[in-house]
Amino acid sequence: MFNNQTTMFLRQRWKVWYLVILPYLLFAVYSAVSIPPLQAGDRTNVPLKNWGGFSLFRSWVYDALEKIVLAGLADQALLNTKPLSRMEAARIVAQAIHKLEQDYGDYNDRNYLEDLLYKLIEEFGSELAEMGVKTPLNYEAKPKFLNLKPVDNIQFGNALANNPQKPVNNFGRRFSEGINTDFTFDGRNQLGDFLSLYYQPEFFLNKDGSQGRLQIGYAKLTLWNTELEVGRDSLWWGPGYHGSMLFSNNAAPLDQVRLGSAEPFRLPWIFRHIGPIKATTFVGKLDGNQTPSHPLVGGYRISLAPSRFVEIGHGRAYQFAGDGRGYTIKDFPGTIFQTTTSEGVDDPDSNRNVNNLLSLDITVRIPNVDRYIFIARDISLYGEMGWDDTQKGWIYPKQPGGIVGTYLTGFLGDPKLDFRLEYAKSTPIMFTHNNIYENGFIYRDSVLSHFIGTDGSELYARLSRWIHEDILLGFQASRAEIGTTQHDLVGKLPHEKRYSFGLDVSYQVSDRSSIFLEYDFSRITNHDFVSGERENNHLFRFEFTYSL
How far apart, in whole angstroms, are the C-alpha atoms of residue 91 and residue 161?
A: 41
Q: What is the pLDDT of residue 341?
A: 41
The beta strands (E) that lie in 173-267 are given as: 178-191, 195-206, 209-223, 226-233, 236-237, 254-261
Task: Identify the structural domains of the chain with CATH numbers, from first to last.
Answer: 15-143+160-463+479-488 (2.40.160.130)
Altogether, the residues listed in the chain come to a count of 548
Contact present, 223 and 202 (Cβ < 8 Å): no
Q: What is the pLDDT of residue 25?
A: 52
Q: What share of the chain is helix, strand, coil (3-state, %, to 5)?
A: 20, 40, 40
H/E stretch holding 467 = strand 457-468
Distances (CA, A) of 409 to 5, 380, 406, 471: 58, 9, 10, 17
* Through-space distance between the first and last CA atoms of the chain, rounded to whole angstroms: 71
How far apart, in whole angstroms, are the C-alpha atoms of residue 497 and residue 494?
A: 9
- Amino acid making up residue 79: L
How far apart, in whole angstroms, are the C-alpha atoms of residue 218 and residue 413?
A: 44
Q: What is the pLDDT of residue 15?
A: 41
Q: How many CB atoms lie within 10 A of CB 39?
A: 10
How far apart, in whole angstroms, are the C-alpha atoms of residue 364 and residue 72?
A: 12
- Amino acid making up residue 296: L
How far apart, in whole angstroms, are the C-alpha atoms of residue 286 and residue 294?
A: 5
Instruction: List per-block mean pLDDT (blocks of 10 residues) for the chain, which spans 548 residues.
Output: 46 42 51 58 94 95 97 94 97 92 68 87 92 83 87 98 97 97 97 95 96 97 94 98 98 97 93 94 93 93 97 94 86 71 56 86 96 93 88 67 98 96 96 85 96 98 96 98 94 96 98 97 97 98 97
How far apart, in whole angstroms, are the C-alpha atoms of residue 543 and residue 548?
A: 16
Residue 528 DSSP label: G
Nearest to 297 by CA among 335, 330, 248, 250: 335
Q: Contacts from 412-416 at CB under 8 Å and sequence distance 24+?
A: 412/374, 412/375, 412/376, 413/370, 413/374, 413/377, 414/465, 415/109, 415/110, 415/111, 415/112, 415/377, 416/112, 416/465, 416/466, 416/467
How far apart, in whole angstroms, are the C-alpha atoms of residue 540 and residue 173?
A: 15
Q: What is the pLDDT of residue 27?
A: 53
Residue 478 DSSP label: E
- pTM of structure: 0.92
Contact present, 247 and 236 (Cβ < 8 Å): yes
Q: How many CB atoms lie within 10 A of CB 341?
A: 12
Q: What is the pLDDT of residue 138?
A: 81
Contact present, 361 and 238 (Cβ < 8 Å): yes
How far apart, in whole angstroms, are the C-alpha atoms of residue 528 and residue 534?
A: 10
Q: How many CB atoms lie within 10 A of CB 99?
A: 18
Q: What is the pLDDT of residue 17?
A: 41
Q: What is the pLDDT of residue 346?
A: 58
Contact present, 66 and 120 (Cβ < 8 Å): no
Contact present, 482 and 518 (Cβ < 8 Å): no
The phi, psi pair for 390, rounded to 5°, reads -70, -10
User: Partners of 468 in the beta sheet?
Assistant: 471
How far apart, in whole angstroms, are the C-alpha atoms of residue 186 and residue 175?
A: 22
Contact present, 47 and 186 (Cβ < 8 Å): yes
Contact present, 53 and 507 (Cβ < 8 Å): yes
Q: What is the pLDDT of residue 381?
A: 98
The beta strands (E) that lie in 113-177 are given as: 146-161
Q: How many CB atoms lie within 10 A of CB 374?
A: 10
Contact present, 486 and 458 (Cβ < 8 Å): no
Q: How many CB atoms lie within 10 A of CB 223?
A: 11
How far apart, in whole angstroms, are the C-alpha atoms of residue 115 and residue 477?
A: 28
